[in-house]
Homo-oligomer: A and B are copies of this chain.
Amino acid sequence: MRFPERLAADAALCEARLLRALEDRADQPVTHAMRYALRGGKRLRAFLVLEGARLHGVPEARALSAAAAVEALHAYSLVHDDLPAMDDDDLRRGQPTVHVKWDEATAVLAGDALQTLAFELLTDPALGSAEVRVALVAGLAKASGIDGMVLGQALDIAAETAGRSLTLEEITALQAGKTGALISFAAEAGAVIAGADPAPLRRYAAALGLAFQIADDILDVTGDEAVTGKRVGKDADAGKATFVSLLGLEGARVRAADLVREAEAALAGYGNGTANLIAAARFVIARDN
């Protein structure tokens, strides 16, 4: 299956797994808000989990709960990131954000419970031995907590009040936490499940994650709100340093293309079976949303 079809197929598998995880839960606004927050999106992280698994001969059904866990974790981070006290966004994937559609309290709780759900999903026996599942829990915690995603978000907030623009090095560190750590966890999860060395996929993901963020910054300047499904121009409006403000639009494009080549090079040792991971890296900088 070629990349666009594979991405869509993996997204559908992941969505079904997430909805199944929320079956038979209390009929409360917070449960509805959780389902709402889990809908849509490209589900690139789920694809990375499942493709990394396929690369190691692990069937999708065995890795699916890890893919769903990463998407649940990502969804929680978006719900909380959109809160008025954080980025204050009212539009996400072309729809009202959770605190707009419900209220702030429901958004706080839905985000909290989505994080819990992510760790719950990683205890699914389908993922393999208890050793594998504990390794996944430890990996997701490291990627998403104060050493990873939350650190990136904290650096982002600190940057807004720093009274000066970030350097390229600082912005790279910020993004390595904010988006990179979770993308790396997703790319490595298949190797963890297979008991294989995740180092090459970690190098692939580091380059992919940074390329992804540079592409986001480019879209914030060149994108169309109707296509991206979120507010554009907001970083420039806020006077924030971005890869585009630091490198220029053309410089950012060149850097992103270099990173895609780095990502491809990291996969060289696997031989066949990496076509879709390579296509994903190219997609990341070519997407319009």
Which residues of A are interface residues toward B (Cβ below 8 A)? Answer: 22, 25-26, 28-31, 34, 76, 80, 83, 85-86, 103-106, 108-109, 111-113, 115-117, 119-120, 122-123, 129-131, 133-134, 137-138, 140-142, 144-147, 150-151, 153-155, 157-158
Contacts and interface: CB of A to CB of B under 8 A. Distances in A.
Contact of A146 (B117, B130, B146): B117
Contact of A120 (B22, B85, B142): B142
Nearest to A130: B130
Task: Give chain A's interface secondary structure class.
Answer: helix
Contact of A30 (B86, B122, B141, B154): B154
23 contacts: A26-B147, A28-B151, A28-B155, A30-B154, A80-B109, A80-B112, A83-B104, A83-B108, A85-B108, A105-B157, A108-B108, A109-B153, A113-B145, A113-B146, A116-B145, A117-B146, A119-B137, A119-B140, A119-B141, A120-B145, A123-B137, A123-B141, A130-B133
Contacts of A22: 146
A117 B140 CA distance: 11
A59 to B, nearest CB: 21
Nearest to A121: B141
Nearest to A81: B108
A123 B137 CA distance: 7
Given A85-B104, A113-B145, A26 B151 contact: yes
A204 to B, nearest CB: 25
A76 to B, nearest CB: 8
